[in-house]
């Protein structure tokens, strides 16, 4: 499902929770309790991603950090890739902050910009 296929209510959910437009939740939160649970899962995903990075990020880590079962994670997100897509704006912002800090450190130690470019390429971010 793409942004074009989203109903007005689904689009509002995407915008409210800051989800990437291409992410389609498996179940849409209707009740306040469900909306709060989704926000807990997204915050847990942000923390797990920051702690473990893209390659070691798992839905189990998200479940543990959110104090939820793995089934609760899968109720909203069918796999870890779509969960990472849901936090993409935060990931990108975080990557840019990290790159800026690395740039400052490299400049201070005169290690050269080639190292930064290599790190940026690994992250898939343009400095």
Structural domain including 2 reads 1-86
Place of tokens 């992250």: 123
User: Which residues, 6+ apart, have CB-to-CB distance to 3 below 8 Å?
Assistant: 11, 14, 21, 22
pTM: 0.58
Q: What does the pLDDT profile of the chain (127 residues) look like in tens digits?
A: 334 444 565 555 555 555 544 566 777 888 899 899 999 999 999 889 888 888 899 999 999 999 999 999 999 999 888 898 888 776 666 677 777 777 777 777 656 677 667 766 666 565 5
Domain shared by 72 and 108, yes or no: no
Domain shared by 65 and 102, yes or no: no
The C-alpha atoms of residue 38 and residue 24 are separated, in whole angstroms, by 13
The widest CA-to-CA distance across the chain, in whole angstroms, is 54
Q: How many domains does the chain have?
A: 2
Nearest to 61 by CA among 74, 48, 51, 73: 48
Phi, psi of 21 (to 5 degrees): -60, -25
Domain shared by 120 and 70, yes or no: no
């Amino acid at each position: 499902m793409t942004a074009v296929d989203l109903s007005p209510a689904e689009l509002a959910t995407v915008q409210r929770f800051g989800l990437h437009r291409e992410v389609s939740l498996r179940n849409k939160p209707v009740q306040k309790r469900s909306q709060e649970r989704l926000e807990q899962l997204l915050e847990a995903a942000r923390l797990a991603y920051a702690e473990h990075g893209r390659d070691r990020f798992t839905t189990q880590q998200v479940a543990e950090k959110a104090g939820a079962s793995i089934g609760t994670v899968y109720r909203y997100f069918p796999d870890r890739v779509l969960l990472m897509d849901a936090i993409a704006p935060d990931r990108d912002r975080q990557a840019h902050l990290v790159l800026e800090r690395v740039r400052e450190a490299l400049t201070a130690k005169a290690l050269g910009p080639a190292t930064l470019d290599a790190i940026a390429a690994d992250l898939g971010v343009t400095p």
